[in-house]
Amino acid sequence: MMIVMRADATQREIKTIVDRVQDCGAQAHLSEGQERTIIGVVGDVRSLPRDEFVRMPGVDRVIPISRPYKLASREFHPWNSEVSLDGIRFGGPEVVVIAGPCSVEDRGQLLETAYAVREAGAHALRGGAYKPRTSPYTFQGLGEEGLELLAEARAATGLAVVTEAMSPAQVPVVTRYADMIQIGARNMQNYALLHAVGESQFPALLKRGLSATVDELLMAAEYILSHGNQNVVLCERGIRTFETATRNTTDINAIPVLKTLTHLPVILDPSHSTGHWEYVEAIARAAVAAGADGLIIEVHPQPEIALSDGGQSLKPERFAALVRQVAAIAEAVGRSMAPAKAPLAN
């Protein structure tokens, strides 16, 4: 349930409510807006003394939350949340672009790509050090060596780093080198990993599972939020359907649906959702037009020899053209691109 405090409620009154909620064996999560504070109550609320809370000083009203997810719900948090990543903000009026290779292959490949996407206007660098692959015989990533290369690329370009963790044991390793932990589609319901990322308080990019519903994606986010980690960005990346013309089926509907149901930022991955570089630009434009807060795009200087997902990777010059197109779409729908990084010193 949700306890809405009066606009003039004091900090002492708010603390009294929080203490009483915790005494009842539930968790209290504060959401502080410009006009009033909302206390989200999570746990078994059936035995909570609702009438008692209604009568307590500072309380305006008590509202049940109908959604199975509570902290991710816009019922609990009516205003948009923003997630900060090294000075850029997901969920605000500006569109953010993350770009880079599917996998970190070697130093030269990563640095060449990092410089190219930065020059084109990307705000953060993606790259997989740990790779969950369908086949155990394909390239699985460089592991910690890949993380070290990502950290070197960040130092060289100033781009924040987004990379995946596949298990709870990898979370502290990834947080030493990266700026945001990606939870991939195959791990969306890896509950031990979700708990570990929540406990880390580190920014998280949560991708929708291959066959997951919107509700299941939001319930996965709830695991992270339940630890007080509010730094969650959701990612639509296409779902598995009967259609085989593309790698997955891009659920453009999910963007406005999620923006209605949750306060969390929402971005789209047009690379995985199509699986073909020829379609990436069109779906990227559609995503921004539909209200996405950003994009995550695979870029490789030589996709034909990429160790993973070369067929869906853009070459740097095409990525630069895409950024210009996306900027025009953003302006057309009343938004703008997040400011590009300042030019690098020669």
185-224 pLDDT tens trace: 999 999 999 999 999 999 999 999 999 999 999 999 999 9
Q: What is the 3-state secondary structure (H, E, C) of the chain?
A: CEEEECCCCCHHHHHHHHHHHHHCCCEEEEEECCCCEEEEEECCHHHCCHHHHHHCCCEEEEECCCCCCCCCECCCCCCCCCEEECCEEECCCEEEEEEECCECCCHHHHHHHHHHHHHHCCCEEECECCCCCCCCCCCCCCCHHHHHHHHHHHHHHCCEEEEECCCHHHHHHHHHHCCEEEECHHHCCCHHHHHHHHHHCCCEEEECCCCCCHHHHHHHHHHHHCCCCCCEEEEECCECCCCCCCCCECCCCHHHHHHHHECCCEEECHHHHHCCHHHHHHHHHHHHHCCCCEEEEEECCCHHHCCCCHHHCECHHHHHHHHHHHHHHHHHCCCEECCCCCCCCC
Inform me whether the pLDDT recorded for 269 exceeds 90. Answer: yes
Task: Give me the pLDDT at residue 134, please.
Answer: 75
Task: Give me the pLDDT at residue 40, please.
Answer: 84
> With the C-alpha atoms ordered 261, 266, 272, 275, is the resulting torsion angle positive or negative?
positive
Inform me whether the pLDDT recorded for 35 exceeds 80. Answer: no
Task: Give me the pLDDT at residue 343, please.
Answer: 82
Chain centre to alpha carbon of residue 226: 16
Which of 73-77, 221-225, 332-336 is least confident? 73-77
Can you list the domains of the chain with their CATH numbers? 2-63 (3.30.70.1140), 83-337 (3.20.20.70)
Task: Give me the pLDDT at residue 196, please.
Answer: 98
The model's pTM = 0.90
Inform me whether the pLDDT recorded for 22 exceeds 80. Answer: yes
Task: Give me the pLDDT at residue 267, please.
Answer: 98
State the average pLDDT over residues 22-43. 83
Distances (CA, A) of 25 to 104, 199, 275: 46, 20, 47
User: Pairing between strand 27-32 and 37-42?
Assistant: antiparallel
- Rounded Cα–Cα distance for residues 295 and 292 (Å): 8
Q: Which of the two residues, 42 and 336, has the higher pLDDT score? A: 336
Query: Mean pLDDT for the chain?
Result: 93
Yes or no: say if 207 and 269 are a contact pair by the CB < 8 Å rule.
yes
Task: Give me the pLDDT at residue 346, please.
Answer: 63
Task: Give me the pLDDT at residue 45, please.
Answer: 72
Tokens of 231: 């730094």
Distances (CA, A) of 160 to 118, 127, 155, 232, 250: 11, 11, 9, 16, 26
Inform me whether the pLDDT recorded for 258 exceeds 70. Answer: yes
State the average pLDDT over residues 240-263. 97
Inform me whether the pLDDT recorded for 160 exceeds 80. Answer: yes
